[in-house]
Structures are given as structure tokens and as C-alpha cells.
Amino acid sequence: MTKIQRPTGMQDVLPDDGRYWSWVTKEATALAEQYGFARIDVPIIEYTDLFARGMGTASDVFVQKEMYTIEEPDGKHITLRPEFTAGLVRAYIQNGMGSWAQPVKLFSIGPIFRRERPQAGRYRQHSQFDCEIMGETDPAADVEVMMAAMNLYRKLGYKGLNFQINSTGCPVCKPVYMDALKSYLAGREDELAPIDIERLQKNPLRILDSKEKGMDALLADAPHIIDHLCEDCRDHFVDLRTLLDTLEQPYTINFRLVRGIDYYTKTVFEVWAEGIGAQAAVCGGGRYDGLAEAIGGRSVPGVGFGSGIERIILGIKEQGIEPPAPPSLSVLVAHFGGESKQTAVALTYTLRAAGIDTRLAFARKRRSMKSQMREANKHNVEYVLIIGDSEVENNTVTLRPMNGGQQEVVAVDELVERLRG
């Protein structure tokens, strides 16, 4: 019989990595709350239509090949969420958040699922930290989500960070730009790689972020979308830059940063960090003023970002950043079985009730002190409390510091105070 393994693209996060996870999610949560984002948790599963709508012609491919979709017995199709934004916008609409004080600022942390071949830092199940501001068109809101992302990475100790920004226009100006780009490329088809000729047909914007050789030269004189923006989009972009300048943030206008899907509007951004393999981006985000309508609500502007936890951790490791030391237990309670075990078990819960991190040495029979000491050492406890016959008799415990200090006998009544001291 073949051994059962975890499904392709799924990860077990073992305790060694768990300390990175607790740290990153704790910092992310604290930062989001400090910025005034409120925590929301929406289902991992949504009706497939939520993710399919608004994705334009590409939606069929997405739903069939890139998402985990299940047909229920009653014929309804449900899908494991491939991102946060759609679910949060759905929750906004469904829960009448349009009548809350605007804007509504939400954050969430949890798993998302994409059915693609795993690559470094890209798994079929991975977790994201996601912040969204809905009901606000002010570019200062764009800056706020950008700063939330940036300052999280700074807090975690990342070096070499900067913003990559661009605008993806809006339904008014994006098509105009697409035409300009297509006619520029049309004259150069012989210079395009086969894959990019295909893109020219299907999704011309994607040529901009093509990794084929010679693209820099080929695109040197290509039209930039920021030169083709309508007045509204241009104003928005100028304001955004002004605010980033005011805050003295490092940013690069990257005309090759694109979003192919229609409901994305105006701001597109990524945060790049040095030394994270081929892909420098630790997060991606932008404005999606067309999404709410696309999924059947009334028009609500929104801006946000998502950042993969696994990717953040990968970057932390590559940059040689150490998480805070894993929490160590204060004490281990050791005993010799029999009556001393009863005393030890009782004491363990007394200490825990007093807020002291306590580990109990398990032993079905009498267990050697050597073995219990070794256990204490492995788990990095500060003290071992030894309980034997004489301690039971005298209502005391032997308190042994593991840092090499002198051990002493302490009355049980004074123990908690002594440990806290």
C-alpha cells in the first residue's frame, strides 16, 4: 500500500517554521489594527460566479484550470478562494457596509488556493495578509495601503525595499493605450518571441512584463500608459506621487507593471525587496473601482493589497533575518512517581493558573532524574522543580536553575512569588 502524502503544492508548517509564522502574523495584525483596519474573516469557499465574473474572456480558463472548483450535488458550483479581494467586496455588499461610515477598512489573514504548478514560494495553498479600503477614491487611501505593506516589511527587518508603481488607467483611457501599444508592436512582430506574438493576440499588456530576451531594447520606445491617461486618472496618479514624495518613499515608475483584468483601475503597485530570487515582489496591490459592479453590487471604489506569508518568510530567511527567540517555558516539574507524581501534577496546574509557563514531566513509572533533566534542557526551561519524598513530606520543592546557579529548597507557599520575583 502506498503511503499517503500531502497533496501536491500543499505544505506542512512545522514548529521550526511556526515561530516565523507567529511572528509575521502577529506583526501584520498589530500593524493593520494600528492603521485602523478591522479584522474580517470570510468563507474560504464562495460561489464560483464571484470569482468568474468580471474576469472577462479569461474567466473560463481561470475557473477551469487555475481554481479549485467543486460541483455540489444540487448543481451549484463553489470554489476555494484564489484571492481575498472578491470575497471581501462580496461581504461589503452583502452586509450593507455601504451604509457604514465610509470608507470601510478591512484586513484578513488566511489561506488561498490556486491550482497551478508549484514554484519557489508559490504553493497551491498559501496564506495571505490582505488589507482593503472600500468606499474611498482619495489617492491618500492608495498611499495608506501601500504604506501598510511597506511598513510591515520594514518592521520585519527587510532591507532594500522600494515601491514599483504604475497606473492601469480606467475603462475610458485603457483601451486607447492598448491601441497605441498594439500599433507600436505591430511594426516589430519580427523582433517578438513566439510566445509574445501569441500574447499580442490574447493579452497585449502581458508583453510588457515578458521575460523574453531583448525586451528592454524592444520596449525602449514603447508608449507608456501614464502618457495616455484620461484627466481623472492622470490627476489621481499625480496626487499619488506627490504624497509618496511628501512621505519620502522610494519608488520607481514601472511602465511594465500591468493588470490584465478590466475591473482594475488607476493605481497598480508592488513592493520589491532585494535578494528574493528571480521575483523581487513581496506584495502586489492596486485599485479596483470596477469590481463591486462586476459582481453585481452598486459601484464602490476600492484599493488594497495582498501579501503571501510564505513569500514574506522566504524573504526573511534569504535576508538572514532572525525571528524573536521562540518562547521558552519557565519551569519543568520533575518527580519520581507515586505520591510525588500526584503532588507534581497538582503543582503544575497551580503554577499554570498563576500564569507561569509550565511543563510536566510525563512518566508512567518511576523515571530517572537524568532523563527528566535532559528533557528540561531540550526544552530550554529556566527552572526545574524537583519533587521527591522529602519535598512531599515537608511541603517544599527543590528549585534548580538551569543557567548554572545554585539550587535551593523553597516552601510550596512561597514558590509562585519566588518564580515571579
Query: Can you give the binding site for RNA, defined by CB under 7 A?
Result: 2, 5-9, 51, 58, 61-62, 66-67, 82-83, 85, 114, 116-120, 195, 198-199, 202-203, 206, 209-212, 258-261, 264, 277-278, 284, 306, 336, 366-371, 373-378, 384, 386, 388-391, 398, 400, 402-404, 407
Q: Which is nearer to RNA, 240 or 334 (CB)?
A: 334
C-alpha angle 353-356-358 in degrees, rounded to nearest 5 = 95
CA distance 229 to 253: 14
Whether residue 132 contacts residue 85, with contact meaning beta carbons closer than 8 Å, is answered with yes
Least distance from RNA to the Cβ atom of residue 195, Å: 5
Q: Which is nearer to RNA, 118 or 297 (CB)?
A: 118
Q: Which is nearer to RNA, 27 or 391 (CB)?
A: 391
C-alpha angle 317-323-328 in degrees, rounded to nearest 5 = 135
Least distance from RNA to the Cβ atom of residue 247, Å: 25
Report residue 287: phi and psi, to 5°: -100, 145
Q: Which is nearer to RNA, 189 or 389 (CB)?
A: 389
Whether residue 391 contacts residue 369, with contact meaning beta carbons closer than 8 Å, is answered with no
Q: Which is nearer to RNA, 36 or 175 (CB)?
A: 175
CA distance 74 to 314: 42
Residue 263 makes CB contacts below 8 A (sequence gap 6+) with: 54, 288, 289, 290, 291, 293, 294
Least distance from RNA to the Cβ atom of residue 117, Å: 4
Least distance from RNA to the Cβ atom of residue 279, Å: 8
Q: Which is nearer to RNA, 22 or 398 (CB)?
A: 398
Least distance from RNA to the Cβ atom of residue 248, Å: 28
Sign (positive/negative) of CA torsion 367, 369, 374, 375? Answer: positive
Residue 27 makes CB contacts below 8 A (sequence gap 6+) with: 152, 155, 156
- List the one residue out of 16, 15, 2 whose CA is nearest residue 317: 16
Least distance from RNA to the Cβ atom of residue 49, Å: 13
